[in-house]
Amino acid sequence: MGRRAAQHHGIRGSAALATGPLSPSAVGAELLEPGEMRRIPFAGELLGAARVRSGFVAVPLDAFDDAAPGLSPEVQAAYLHLLRLSFGEGRNFCRIGKRQLRERLRTSERRLLRLLDRLVERGLARPLHRDNRGTLWRVYLPGEASGAPVGDAVLLGRAAGTAPPPPARPPGPPQKPGPVAIGPLARSLAEARGELLPEGLERAEREIAELLAEGQSTRRIAAGIEALRRLKPPAEETAP
């Protein structure tokens, strides 16, 4: 019991709160009408109306209420940042580099790729273009991802006459490269690491598949594997 107590980490200030009897009128601020511009004292604080008048992001509530429950916390964070950079700027797309997005999410590049792939799989984002400025992302609202129109709650720009009509539904994720493309590279990577057991080969196959899906060429991947092979220290000789 002592060890479990030492590992338990509660919420600061929560232990002092006793669960009181059900009383909807206990906190006066909860009785304020929507739009009523008042704040009422409670527990040393003033609780009540607060309106953000500038520097805010217009994000539809279904991004939180409908999309978020089906996503892991990290994928939710990635989606909300893409929404902030797209719809938060009054458009349905954004361009951002992996480094900038990694800094926002405090994650590794490999982990970032998995998070973005999950958004593409769910139809919430789609990469359209890449250059030195970063990747151009089409960002979809939850309703769009399910094939529904955005409705009157979102004002869309007028479509140009020369532009092709937008797809009714975001396309699915790119197809995983076949084993013929992955197998030799994965085995070379596993050999360079000295990990030829099944677990090592499976890990190498997953990593090669991610690099190919990212758009890396087989020649560039092979060059990276060869560089890794050269960096590996030579095996020590066993004394006779």
Q: Where are the domains of the chain?
A: 62-145, 179-231
pTM over 0.75: no
Residue 77 is predicted with a pLDDT of: 94
The better pLDDT of the pair 224, 94 is held by: 94
User: What confidence tens digit (pLDDT) does each residue in 130-180 have?
Assistant: 989 899 999 999 888 888 888 777 887 877 765 555 566 666 555 554 444
- C-beta atoms surrounding 99 within 10 Å: 11
**Taking the chain, what is the end-to-end CA distance rounded to the nearest angstrom?**
55
Radius of gyration of the chain (CA): 26
Instruction: Please give the share of the chain, as a percent, with pLDDT higher than 90.
Output: 25
**Is residue 237 scored above 70 in pLDDT?**
no
- Separation between Cα atoms, residue 157 and residue 166, nearest integer Å: 12
pLDDT digits (tens, 9 = 90+) for 93-109: 999 999 999 999 999 99
| CATH level 2 (architecture), domain 62-145 | Orthogonal Bundle (1.10)
Amino acid at 76: Q
What is the distance between the alpha carbons of residues 146 and 123, in angstroms, rounded to a whole number?
A: 8
Over residues 35-54, mean pLDDT = 85
Nearest Cα to Cα of residue 46 among 27, 24, 63 = 27
